[in-house]
Amino acid sequence: MAGIKGTRYGQARRAAYALWRGPDFAQQQSQTEALGGNRVLSLAIRKGSSLAPLLESRSVYGSLVSDRSSDAILRAVSWNSQTARHPSPTEAISEIVPARFVRIPAMQVQQWLRKFDGLHTTLSSVAQTDDQLPICSLRIEADAVYSVFEQVWQVVPGEQSELTHIWLDVWNAMGQTLQTEPAIQDVEESFPCVEGKPAAYDFQTYEPWLTLP
């Protein structure tokens, strides 16, 4: 895998993964209103393998505060590694990914989130050894500071779980919404920009100091 990172395909794949994970914030600003906001709900799936992935994510950006609730942005991106590979060493590999942004009412966001209310799930520290298994992810940010839930899991064929069932229900509903709601453009996105370079760290002064009483 190390040899792929520096190739043009490796660079395109890295960019696709970053866009697939999505920004922390997305907004469309006009003279009369600001649409969107922080990421409040995100569903993503990866098929294929780590080296040759098939990616798609669907995320909602808006506000869950009732007195500030306005329409939200549903953002969807996908990437097919098979179409990004080119046999010719002189042929360019595009880092542009298919995407669609639509405007959705805040009530729709609340309906999707309520489907996950009362969900019981488990944490497994043992990952499947089959890299070809589909991987799903769910992230809910009721508040980006105080209340965040995230889970990533592999889907084994034939195995059913409440989490996967609800995830798929919301995923399909999002897909329908992407086809029926009006598309928007000119959305400003804010991605995490801190890089873990050695110059960012002071290795001499760190000491453990925070815990719970």
- Give domain status of residue 123, yes or no: no
Q: Is residue 122 part of a domain?
A: no
The domain total for the chain is: 1
Quote the tokens at residue 124: 């497994």
Residue 146 lies in a domain: yes
| Structural domain for 134, as ranges | 2-20+33-117+129-188
- Which residues, 6+ apart, have CB-to-CB distance to 19 below 8 Å? 77, 79, 97, 99
Instruction: Spell 195-212 as b/e; 16+ CB within 10 A means b.
Output: eeeeeeeeeeeeeeeeee
Q: pLDDT tens digits for the chain (213 residues)?
A: 455 666 888 888 999 999 999 999 999 987 778 889 999 999 999 999 988 999 999 999 998 876 555 799 999 999 999 887 654 555 666 678 999 999 999 899 999 999 999 888 887 777 667 888 999 999 999 876 778 999 999 998 888 899 999 999 999 999 999 999 989 999 999 987 766 677 777 888 888 888 788
Residue 198 lies in a domain: no
Q: How far apart are CA 2 and CA 148, in angstroms?
A: 33
Does 136 fall in a domain?
yes
**pTM for this one?**
0.86
- Assess if residue 135 is contained within a domain: yes
Sign of the dihedral defined by the CA atoms of residues 162, 164, 167, 168, in that order: negative
DSSP 3-state assignment of 10?
A: helix
Does residue 65 lie in a domain region? Answer: yes
In a domain, 208, yes or no: no
